Structure 1
Amino acid sequence: MRKDRRQMLQLALIGAGLGATGVWAASGSREAQVFRRSGVAFDTGVALTIVGHDEREAEAALDAGFAEIRRLERVAGLSTPGSDIRRLNAEGRLDRPDPALLDMLAVADEVHRASGGAFDVTVQPLWIFYDSYAKRGKWPTDAEAAPARDLIGQSRMRFDAEAIRFDGPGMAITLNSLTHGYAADRVAKVLADFGVRQAFVDTGEMESLGRGPQDRQWTAAVKHPRQRDAMLGTAPVTGCMATAGDYAYSWSEDYSRHHILDPRTGYSPASFATVVVIAEKAVVADALSTAVSVLGPDEGATLLKQFDAEAYGVTKAGKIWATPGFPREHLA
C-alpha cells in the first residue's frame, strides 16, 4: 500500500520572491510585506500567504484563517477525534448539524445528480473495507466486498437543518472530496472580511485573492503523478483550483487500486492518473476533480460544461488531456 500527500498542486512562490517556509518581507519601505503561515490540517499541509503593509493586521487575519480551518476540522475531519462527521458515521444520525456540513452536502447532492451518480459521499464503508484488507497485504473478492458495496447510496441519506440521517445501519460518509475546497472558500472569505485583498489560500486545494507580490500572478506547480518530486509545469491560479490523483493513496503498486472509487461499480476508475479542475468555487472544483476522475475524459468534459469549469489531466497511459479553457501554456 502506498500513501503520499493528497496534494498535487503545491504553491510555487519562487518566482514571486518567496521561500518555501517562513515570513518574507520585501526590502524598501514602499514594498508590501508578505506574511506566510503553514501547518497541517485535514491530513495534509496547509498554508496561508498574505500580501500587505501592516504586520499586526496580517497576523490577525492569519489567526482568523487558521481558526476557521481548525473549526472545520472539528466539523468534517474524518481523522479528528470527536468531529461531527465521526459522530454521524458512528450513530447514523446527527441532530442540528453545523451549516458547513449542510453546505457541503448540498454541493455533494448537486454533483451527484449532475454526474449520474459518479460522485457519491456514501462510499466510505467500502473505502474502509478495502483499506482494512490492504493493510493486511490482502485484497477481497467481489463476493466479500458485496456487503460494503451495498451500503453505497447517496439517495439513502437525508439532510436538513434539523438532522442528517441514514436510511439504514452501517452507512457512513466521507467529505474528503469536498472539505479541502470548502475550507479554501471559507478561509478566503474570512481573509477578505479582514480587509485582505491579496492572498493565497492552500488547504490542499487552492484559492487566490488579487495578485501576488510585485503585482505578479499567483502560480501553482503541477506535480507529476508518477515521478516523485517532479513537476509537469506551472499554471496560474486566478480563482479556485483543486486536484484528484490516484497516487495520493494507493492500494497497489500499479495504482490500479486506489482511494478514488466509482460508487456505481465499487472499483477504482481506470482512466486518469490525475485531474486538476478550475471552477468558480473551490468546493465545486474539489468535487468535480473526483467526479471527472471517475467519469473519464468524454463524460468528464460534459460534466465540466454544466459547471462552467475547466480541467487538465494525465491519463494512466501518460496522455495529456485538457479542456479548451484551461491555462496550460506552461504545462506539458
Structure 2
Amino acid sequence: MTAAAVPMTRHAEHVMGTVFSFDVRGDGDHRDGIGRAVAWLRHVDAVFSTYRPDSPVSRLGRGEIGLTNCPAEVAEVLALCARVERDSGGYFTAHPPGGRLDPSGLVKGWAIERASDLLTAAGLPRHSVNGGGDVQLGAEPEPGRPWRVGVAAPPTAAGRPADGALATVVAGAGLAVATSGTAERGHHIVDPHTGRPATALASITLAGPRLTTVDAYATAAFAMGEAARDWVEDMEDLEALAVTAAGQTWRTSGFHRHVPPEFRGFLPAWPPR
C-alpha cells in the first residue's frame, strides 16, 4: 500500500524581470497565501525597479526625493546592502561603477525570503520559492523528505555542458541556495575594486539559512574569484561550491552536508589535493 500523495500547488509568476516559481505542499487552499506572496513581489518591483523611471529607487538615485520620502523598505534594503558591503570587503555594492544607485543584487533574494515568510505566516510552511534559480526552502515537502535543488553546470574553457547537466544537487529544508555565474547573462558581475567584469569563476553556489544574505554574498563571492574560498570558509552557516573559468571545481569544507549521499562522489576532494 502506497502513502497518499501530499496535496500540491505550483504557480509561476513573471515579475521583476524573471520567473518566480512557487511549490506549496499540504492540506487546504493554497491560493490565498500564494496570492499574498505574489502581491508582495509586485510591490517590490514597483518600489525597487531600476527600469521604471517613476519607482522610488529610480527617483532617489536621481536625487529627486530623499530617503524619508521613500517606502520604509528602501531604508531597510540599503542598510542590508551596507552590511553586505562591509562583510565582503567592498566586493558587493549598491552603487555600480559611475555611482548609480542599484540595490538589485540584494533585492531579489530579500524579496524571495520575505515571500517565503508570508507563506509560512499564511499557514503554508511546506514550500519552496524560486526566483531565477535562487531558492528559499521552507519546511520539508513531506515528513522525512527534503527538497532538492539542481544547480546547472556552467560553460567553461573546458567546453559547454550538455543541456540539463548539473554541477551539483543541494538537498534540505529551511535552507537558501543561490548561484552567481555566467550561464544566463555572461560576464555581467563587475569587480567593484577594478571596475572590470569578474572572470576567474564560471559559477559559485552558496547555501545558508536566509536568501537575503546568501544571494548577495554569492554575488560578492563571484566578484572575489579564488579569494572567495577562504572568505566563505570563515563565514558562519555559509558553504560554497565553485566552478572555475578553466572548468575545475572547489568547495568549502562543509558543503557536502547539503548534498544527497548519491551525489557526494561527484564533489571535489577535501582537503584539496
For Structure 1 versus Structure 2, the TM-score category normalised by the shorter chain is 0.7 to 0.9
Which residue does 1:191 correspond to in 2? Answer: 119
TM-score, with length taken from structure 2 = 0.84
Quick one: which amino acid aligns to residue 11 of structure 2? R
Question: What is the match of residue 129 of structure 2?
Answer: 201
SS of 1:177's partner is: helix
SS at match of 1:249: coil
Partner of residue 44, structure 1: 18
In structure 2, what is the equivalent of residue 84 of structure 1? 56
The answer on whether the counterparts of 1:183 and 1:203 sit within 8 Å (CA) in structure 2 is no
Q: How big is each residue's C-alpha offset from its partner over 1:117-166, in whole Å with a ceiling of 9 and x where there is no partner?
A: 1111211xx4xxxxxxxxxxxxxxxxxxxxxxxx3xxxxxxxxxxxxxxx
Q: Is the 8 A contact 1:207 1:237 kept in 2?
A: no
**1:98 has 2:71 as partner:** yes
Which structure 2 segments of 5+ residues have no match?
156-160, 267-273
Q: Please list, as runs of the form range in 1=range in 2, the aligned pairs for 1:97-246 lying within 5 A after superposition.
A: 97-123=70-96, 126=97, 151=98, 171-204=99-132, 205-213=134-142, 215-226=144-155, 227=161, 228-238=163-173, 239-246=175-182
Asked if residue 288 in structure 1 is aligned to residue 217 in structure 2, the reply is yes
**Counterpart residue number, 1:33:** 7
3-state secondary structure, aligned to 2:66: strand
User: 8 Å contact 2:92–2:219 — kept in the other structure?
Assistant: yes
Task: Give the Å deviation of 1:107.
Answer: 2.0
Secondary structure of 1:247's counterpart equals coil
Give the AA of the match of 1:211.
E
Opposite residue 49 of structure 1, the aligned amino acid is: D
Matched, 1:319 2:255: no
Summarize the Cα distance change of 1:294–1:301 in structure 2 as closer, same or farther, 3 Å threshold.
Answer: same
* 2: CA distance, partners of 1:83 / 1:180: 16
Deviations 1:46-97 (CA, angstroms, capped at 9, x unpaired): 1111112112xx1110111101111111111223453222222233643423
Given that 1:115 and 1:303 are in contact with CA atoms closer than 8 Å, whether structure 2 keeps it comes out as no
Kindly indicate whether the alpha-carbon contact (under 8 Å) linking 1:277 and 1:312 is maintained by their aligned counterparts in 2: yes
Find the counterpart in structure 2 of residue 247 from structure 1.
Answer: 183
SS in 1 for 2:80: helix
Structure 1 unaligned residues grouped into runs of 5+: 1-26, 127-150, 152-170, 251-257
* Equivalent position of 1:260 in the other structure: 189
Q: How far apart, CA to CA, are the structure 2 residues paired with 1:86 and 1:65? A: 24
The offset of 1:111, in angstroms, is 1.7
More relative contact order, 1 or 2 (CA 8 Å, 6+ apart) = 1
Residues 223-266 of structure 1 deviation map (CA, whole Å, 9 limit, x = unaligned): 1111354322321142111111123323xxxxxxx210011101
Q: What is the CA distance between 1:299 and its match in structure 2?
A: 4.2
Task: Tell me the equivalent position of 2:269.
Answer: none
In structure 2, what is the Cα distance between the partners aligned to 1:236 and 1:77? 32
Identical amino acids, percent of aligned pairs? 23
**Aligned equivalents of 2:56, 2:154: Cα separation in 1:** 33
User: What amino acid does structure 1 have at the position aligned with 2:35?
Assistant: D
Q: What residue number does 1:17 align with?
A: none
AA paired with 2:194?
T
Q: CA RMSD in A?
A: 2.2
- The aligned amino acid for 1:285 is V
In the alignment, does 2:50 pair up with 1:75?
no
Deviates more, 1:274-283 or 1:71-80: 71-80
Q: Is the 8 A contact 1:208 1:240 kept in 2?
A: yes
Alignment of 1:270 onto 2:270 = no
- Partners in 2 of 1:244 and 1:182 — Cα distance? 16
User: Measured at CA, do residues 175 and 237 of structure 1 come closer, stay the same or move farther in structure 2, by a change above 3 Å?
Assistant: farther
Q: Distance in 2 between matches of 1:75 and 1:64?
A: 17
| Contact map agreement 1:184 1:203 (CA 8 A) in 2 | yes
Deviation at 1:308, TM superposition (A): 2.9
In structure 1, what is the Cα distance between the partners aligned to 2:150 and 2:120? 25
Deviation for aligned residue 1:114? 2.1
CA contact (8 A) 2:176 2:214 kept: yes
